Amino acid sequence: MKNLVDRYPVKPYPSHDIVPVRAGYQICAPGYDFGPQLRDSWTIQYVCSGCGTVWKDGKSFSVSEGEIFVLRPGETIRVTADILNPWTYIWLGFRSAVQMPGLLFQYDHFPCRELEDLFLEVSECNLRTNRPLEPLLISYIWELIYRLEKKSPGSSVGSKTDAYIEQARSLIHERFGIVSVQQLADELHLNRSYLSRLFKKSTAISLQDYLTSVRMQRARELLLQGLSVSQAALASGYSDIAIFSRAYKSYYKMSPTEYLQLKNPAHSDSGDVKT
């Protein structure tokens, strides 16, 4: 399967509300780096496999398989594939004169496996040689907007739920995931089970799994910055290095010591535990 052309001349078509400007997919090499680049339109990217890091507006965040990340008009972005588990992603870029779903303003990235089928169709657009590309992409963009709108309802109940989820996510990231589900529920004055149900329904991932992913991403970033395994463990909320190593290996399929040795074969840390 060949890559779609990232940017192509948009032919005249009777639609001014949605204008496609880029689409495609890429299987990235380890450490593949793109940017910085100023975006002049919306770009929604879905990660099919692997993981990487997105930098924009002076901050960075990790994105993994099954997640979408959002690049808005006017944002300067840079993306880098993980050196051990580089991502493959599909993108759909467009200009829009219609109101966009609230999710695209509230979050820079979020789990959305239910849209994988749509993005896989986008990746195969270049095989549809018997029909114009522009109207086909427009139909995909409208479907994307519709399905994301369903995921972020505009009702008062939906808005209240979104507020709870946003508060929970903010607390989690402020504390690098070093917080329990019960502590989050207590701070939001909600029942623990109720908060967990709201979070899972809104994001398609359990609250506990989200906490773990933030802690693991924090640990990986610290290792990339040169911290030892023991230092990264403590900074990620693990007082027991063996427990941290097992959790890291379960998440990344590789122990933190093995990760450091791959980055730098001369690296050694006598205080680390390899499990």
Q: Which residues, in sequence order, are bridge partners of residue 43?
A: 71, 93
**How buried is 137 (Cβ within 10 angstroms: 0-12 exposed, 13-18 middle, 19+ buried)?**
buried
- Residues 111 and 176 both lie in one domain: no
* 51-104: pLDDT as tens digits: 999 998 778 899 999 999 999 888 889 999 999 999 999 999 998 877 788 788
Token pair for 69: 């990340």
Whether residue 31 contacts residue 83, with contact meaning beta carbons closer than 8 Å, is answered with: yes
Of 125, 151, 177, at which residue does a domain stop?
A: 151
Asked if residue 145 and residue 160 are part of one domain, the reply reads no
- Claim to verify: residue 70 and residue 182 sit in the same structural domain: no
Same domain for 123 and 35: yes
Q: For the packed helices 181-188 and 207-224, what is the interaxial angle rounded to 10 degrees?
A: 110
The answer to whether position 110 is within a domain reads yes
Q: Which residue range is the domain that position 78 belongs to? A: 18-151
64 and 129 together in one domain: yes
pTM over 0.85: no
What does the pLDDT read at residue 275? Answer: 46
CATH code for the domain in which residue 79 is found: 2.60.120.280
Best CA proximity match to 114, nearest among 159, 90, 144: 144
Q: Is 42 a domain residue?
A: yes
More confident position, 172 or 45: 45
Residue 54 and residue 67 share a domain: yes
CA atoms of 233 and 135, how far apart (whole Å): 51
DSSP per-residue string spanning the chain: -PPPPSS-PPPP-S-SSEEEEEEEEEEPPTT-EEEEEE-SSEEEEEEEESEEEEEETTEEEEEETTEEEEE-TT-EEEEEE-SSSB-EEEEEEEEESSPPPTHHHH-SEEE-GGGHHHHHHHHTGGG-TTS-HHHHHHHHHHHHHHHHHHHS--SHHHHHHHHHHHHHHHHHHHTTT-S-HHHHHHHHT--HHHHHHHHHHHHSS-HHHHHHHHHHHHHHHHHHTT--HHHHHHHTT-S-HHHHHHHHHHHHSS-HHHHHHHH-TT---TT----
Note whether residue 242 is domain-resident: no
Residue 102 neighbours by CB under 8 Å, 6+ apart: 152, 154, 162
User: pLDDT per residue over 220-253, tens digit each?
Assistant: 888 888 889 999 999 998 999 999 999 999 988 8
Of residues 175 and 121, which shows the higher confidence score?
A: 121
Give the count of domains, the chain.
2
Joined together, the tokens standing for residue 70 give 């959002």
Where among 151, 176, 199 does a domain terminate?
Answer: 151
User: pLDDT by residue (tens digit) across 167-210?
Assistant: 788 788 778 788 999 999 888 888 888 899 888 887 778 899 88
